[in-house]
Amino acid sequence: MKKDCDAAPPWAGRTVSLRGISFRTDAKGVVPLSMQLAEAIKDAIIHRKIRPGDVLPPIRELAAACGSGVKAPRIALEHLAAEGWTRSVRRVGAVVLHRGEDAGSSARVLFYVRQTGFSYYCAGLTAVLEARLTAKGYRPTFINAWGRSEAPTCNRFESLLKENWGLVVLVGGGAEVCRLASAAGHPFMLLNVRSHLPVRHAHGCVGRVGICIDGALSDFVRECSRKGIRRVVQFRYDPDGYDATGFLSAVGIATETVRIGRESSPAAVAQASLARMRRFLSERLLPDLFLFTDDYIAQGALIAIDAAGVRVPEDVRVATHANRGLGPIWHKPLARLQSDPIAHGRIAAAAILAYLATGQMPPDLELGFVWKTGETL
């Protein structure tokens, strides 16, 4: 009589078919089930029955399909992760990477960041992106485009695109950058001011995140109308600065622009703004309201206003764009169009991580600005 210890295990000779995984277990139960399951999953990946970004069935589901306990599936998944076929993602499961020999590339993320000047917003946003991705085991690489022309950086970007990347993320950047990313064949994501995003998804674009300032501007304009403001002077960057002219003109508010050149540092921006405001105050009548479209522009201009003895809001009202946590220091709460680069970075990072883990990007997202009423208006 055959002893129980010599009998074939319950899973022996069983046909397993589950979500692209299909095999028949060893009839005699000699080969460990964990090894058979791991090899079957590899075979499914190689033959594209399971694709990169797919999430493997959970351990208990695999155990039920195999007719075994949870130990064998757990060991199989550990082997696959150790060999670079999958990566365990908390609260998601075992995510399939690219083919075993290219598995490392799926953990690499290339960021192209358009920096037209010193940007606290961009610095805060990208710092959060880097921290969140690194914490999850990804390897982000950043290439920054400075100055008015992107051409020098585009050459380096094109060269980097020849390498293997799990995802390419374009933070800002023009049409040429988008074309290069599309032509390279990597999946890429766009993060830009909403009005600068292409109307349709370019080939290879897996998702878009738009930075939307319209809501805050609409609230700001309504507040201006309510306060009876008829003339606004805005201090803004030249070129490509944040511009409220169209919104104000639509409700009959006259707008004049004082342009500030993009400088190499926040201190230089503040100094340039201070000088332009001094000149304005010495030559022109005060408007109903000054609008400063950048933190550092506001910093220099407000110093000049204070030094000239101009009272806010008694003599002139003031509103400014201000990133949360970096609004210019003033002795009264500023009325402001406020953005939150840290919160925006978390939202964008979550979308990127969702794609890297599952191969699916959430629907197009919007990162909004909010209007904060302050004593200066």
Token readout for 7 is: 């009998």
User: Looking at residue 102, what is its pLDDT?
Assistant: 46
205-212/365-368 β-pairing: parallel
Token readout for 323 is: 């990133």
Distance, in Å, from the CA atom of 184 to the CA atom of 58, rounded to the nearest integer, reads 34
Residues of the chain above pLDDT 90, percent: 49
Count of alpha carbons within 13 Å of 157, Cβ hemisphere only?
Answer: 30
Mean of pLDDT values over 176-185? 88
User: Looking at residue 265, what is its pLDDT?
Assistant: 79
pLDDT score of 91 more than 80: no
The pLDDT tens digits of the residues spanning 224-258 come to 999 999 999 999 988 767 789 999 999 999 999 99
User: Looking at residue 360, what is its pLDDT?
Assistant: 81
Distance, in Å, from the CA atom of 116 to the CA atom of 119, rounded to the nearest integer, reads 8
Across 12-21, 57-66, 103-112, 299-308, least confident range: 103-112
335-339/370-372 β-pairing: antiparallel
Those residues with Cβ within 8 angstroms of residue 306's Cβ, 6 or more apart along the chain or in another chain: none
Count of alpha carbons within 13 Å of 51, Cβ hemisphere only?
Answer: 4
The pLDDT tens digits of the residues spanning 64-85 come to 999 999 999 999 999 888 777 7
Bigger pLDDT: 99 or 284?
284
DSSP symbol at 6: G
- The chain-wide mean pLDDT, for the chain, equals 87
pLDDT score of 101 more than 60: no
Q: Which domains does the chain have, with CATH numbers?
A: 4-97 (1.10.10.10), 104-211+342-365 (3.40.50.2300), 214-339 (3.40.50.2300)
User: Looking at residue 3, what is its pLDDT?
Assistant: 44
Confidence band, pLDDT 50/70/90 cuts, at residue 104? low
pLDDT score of 100 more than 60: no
